[in-house]
């Protein structure tokens, strides 16, 4: 019974996905689009239901393969919330799919289930299964606009590199299992003192981190991100940016803190170097970008670097900061993609570059305000969520730096990264509000924003402001969740 309680939320999402596929059979084609709202409502209900769960202590299930602790619960809610917003976005986007709209929603739900399984994975087998569930659904979701070359190109690139990373991952897991004889994180941690110096185990874990690095888009495994972000349908990109990245971080943290805490200490400098490289690569490559989705792709690489900075601190404070940062990132990035989804609908789709945003504030003040706030939040400026997230990360890094002086260097790199990122985030704002410089007259007709979309945008704005101005509640939650990993 315990077993099924522990995966109740995941099961509900999977059932919702199956029900959606069945409903599709009886829904007349004209109304298939609105099935997305049904899916969003179902996911929203699961999200609310998750607050009924109160954990006195972590609930292990399926022989320790799954553990439902506060950390898992935090991410369950995170993914559910992201999925609701992505589904609303998908309905907006659905008129661009030729057919299979309901499948798109269902696949989104299955990807969501994968992410939720990842959040409570306590075993390499489940880690792999959850990641594959996410990745395989995303292969389809990225290439869903199957008559558009850019979408197909994105799908193929994601497929090839994703398969490669899965191969790394599986090979690494095999090596770890070969050395330790178990896949369970807790049992690996118990046996770690004996096996820690084994080069085979280290090689195996390194390969596992390579596999996870692909998901997170950490340098040097970031190469796919900009192309896929640019080509994929916008809701897919949004889910990829928030959900898939967060799932990668969940697993990284789980392996690092529960599986091999001692090895983490030894590899701290590796994480520091990777974080610094990722930040610099992301911000420097974002500077010349003209395409908004591509720019956000590079920005997501830079943000992976900032999050990795939190990982490199190897402490509870760092984990708590990561969770907070991700929550702020969710509202900011989904807000931005929602605007792209609606505002750039009428422009030629492969040219959704910055100039097509010109005059957006006159066509729809709400869209312009949301995108501006999202950019300001991503840039890390008060009173928005991004500021508190960056503040917590920097504070965690400086606190941990007393023990590891390299973190001072990383903090310096992070500051440089933030300053450079201001340039390209503000360029987006300039594109919307500044008087136009080009001779070409931008489109001037007002943009209609549907009511659910308006609610979603409002929700993102409120979320950004709430996390920026009243950090106390969420911070208590993230501290609590971080305790599950690093007591």
Does position 288 bind other proteins by CB under 8 A?
no
Residues 8-67 that bind other proteins (CB under 8 A): none
Does position 433 bind other proteins by CB under 8 A?
yes
* Residue 335 · residue 415 · CB < 8 Å: no
Among 104, 281, 298, 387, binds other proteins (CB under 8 A): 387
Does position 399 bind other proteins by CB under 8 A?
yes
Which residues contact residue 176 at a Cβ distance below 8 angstroms, ignoring those fewer than 6 apart? 124, 183, 188, 201, 204, 205, 208
Does position 415 bind other proteins by CB under 8 A?
yes
Nearer to other proteins, 14 or 486 (CB): 486
Among 64, 100, 191, 383, binds other proteins (CB under 8 A): 383
Among 27, 182, 479, 483, binds other proteins (CB under 8 A): 479
Distance CA 397, CA 391 (A): 10
Among 63, 167, 287, 423, binds other proteins (CB under 8 A): 423
Does position 411 bind other proteins by CB under 8 A?
yes
Nearer to other proteins, 107 or 378 (CB): 378
Q: Which two tokens stand for residue 477?
A: 């939650």
Q: Which one of the spans 9-17, 212-220, 265-273, 431-439 is the region binding other proteins (CB under 8 A)?
A: 431-439
Does position 435 bind other proteins by CB under 8 A?
yes
Q: Which one of the spans 5-13, 202-210, 332-340, 383-391 is the region binding other proteins (CB under 8 A)?
A: 383-391
Q: Nearest CA to 84 among 238, 249, 230?
A: 238
Q: Which two tokens stand for residue 9?
A: 């939320």
Distance of closest approach, residue 241 Cβ to other proteins, in angstroms: 24
Among 471, 481, 485, 486, binds other proteins (CB under 8 A): 471
* Residue 297 · residue 224 · CB < 8 Å: no
Query: What is the distance of C-alpha 132 from the center of its chain?
Result: 16
Q: Which two tokens stand for residue 60?
A: 């292990």
Nearer to other proteins, 66 or 321 (CB): 321
Residue 353 per-residue DSSP state: B
Does position 248 bind other proteins by CB under 8 A?
no
Kindly determine how many residues on this chain lie close enough to bind other proteins according to the rule CB under 8 A: 32
Residues 340-369 that bind other proteins (CB under 8 A): 361, 365
* Residue 208 · residue 176 · CB < 8 Å: yes
3-class SS at 344?
A: coil
Which residues contact residue 468 at a Cβ distance below 8 angstroms, ignoring those fewer than 6 apart? 328, 377, 382, 383, 384, 385, 386, 387, 388
Phi-psi group of 20: left, alpha or beta (phi > 0 → left; psi -120 to 50 → alpha; rest → beta) = alpha
Q: Work out the end-to-end distance of the chain between its first and last CA atoms, rounded to an integer number of angstroms.
A: 28
DSSP H or E stretch at residue 181: none
Distance of closest approach, residue 225 Cβ to other proteins, in angstroms: 25
> Which residues contact other proteins (rule: CB under 8 A)?
361, 365, 376, 381-383, 387, 391, 394-395, 398-399, 402, 411-412, 415, 418-420, 422-423, 426, 429-430, 433-435, 471-472, 475-476, 479
């Amino acid at each position: 019974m315990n077993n099924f309680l522990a995966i109740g939320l995941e099961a509900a999402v999977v059932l919702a996905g199956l029900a959606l596929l069945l409903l599709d059979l009886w829904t007349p084609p004209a109304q298939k689009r609105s099935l997305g709202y049904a899916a969003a409502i179902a996911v929203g209900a699961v999200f609310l239901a998750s607050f009924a769960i109160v954990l006195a202590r972590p609930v292990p299930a399926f022989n320790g393969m799954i553990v439902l602790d506060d950390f898992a619960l935090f991410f369950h809610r995170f993914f559910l919330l992201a999925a609701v917003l992505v589904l609303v976005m998908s309905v907006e986007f659905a008129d661009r799919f030729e057919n299979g709209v309901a499948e798109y929603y269902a696949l989104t739900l299955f990807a969501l289930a994968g992410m939720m399984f990842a959040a409570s994975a306590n075993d390499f087998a489940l880690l792999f299964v959850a990641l594959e569930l996410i990745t395989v659904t995303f292969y389809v979701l990225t290439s869903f606009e199957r008559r558009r070359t850019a979408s197909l190109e994105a799908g193929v690139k994601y497929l090839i590199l994703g398969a490669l990373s899965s191969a790394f991952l599986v090979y690494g897991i095999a090596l770890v299992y070969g050395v330790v004889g178990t896949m369970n994180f807790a049992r690996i941690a118990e046996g770690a003192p004996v096996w820690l110096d084994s080069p085979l185990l280290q090689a195996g874990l390194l390969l596992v981190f390579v596999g996870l690095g692909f998901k997170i888009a950490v340098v040097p495994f970031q190469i796919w991100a900009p192309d896929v972000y640019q080509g994929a349908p916008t809701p897919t990109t949004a889910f990829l940016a928030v959900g898939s990245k967060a799932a990668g971080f969940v697993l990284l943290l789980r392996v690092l803190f529960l599986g091999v805490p001692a090895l983490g200490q030894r590899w701290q400098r590796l994480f520091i170097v990777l974080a610094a490289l990722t930040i610099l690569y992301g911000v420097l490559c974002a500077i010349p970008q003209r395409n908004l989705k591509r720019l956000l792709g590079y920005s997501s690489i830079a943000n992976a670097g900032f999050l990795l900075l939190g990982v490199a601190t190897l402490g509870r404070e760092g984990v708590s900061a990561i969770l907070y940062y991700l929550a702020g990132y969710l509202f900011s990035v989904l807000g931005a993609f929602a605007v792209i989804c609606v505002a750039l609908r009428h422009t030629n789709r492969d040219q959704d570059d910055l100039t097509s945003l010109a005059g957006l504030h006159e066509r729809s003040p709400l869209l312009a305000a949301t995108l501006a706030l999202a950019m300001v939040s991503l840039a890390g400026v008060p009173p928005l969520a991004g500021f508190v997230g960056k503040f917590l990360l920097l504070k965690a890094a400086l606190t941990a730096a007393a023990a590891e002086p390299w973190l001072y260097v990383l903090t310096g790199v992070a500051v440089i990264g933030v300053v450079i990122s201001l340039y390209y985030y503000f360029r987006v704002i300039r594109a919307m509000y500044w008087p136009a410089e080009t001779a070409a007259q931008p489109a001037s007709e007002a943009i209609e924003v549907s009511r659910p979309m308006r609610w979603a945008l409002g929700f993102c704005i409120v979320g950004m402001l709430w996390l920026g101005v009243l950090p106390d509640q969420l911070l208590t939650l993230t501290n609590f969740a971080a305790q599950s990993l690093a007591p």
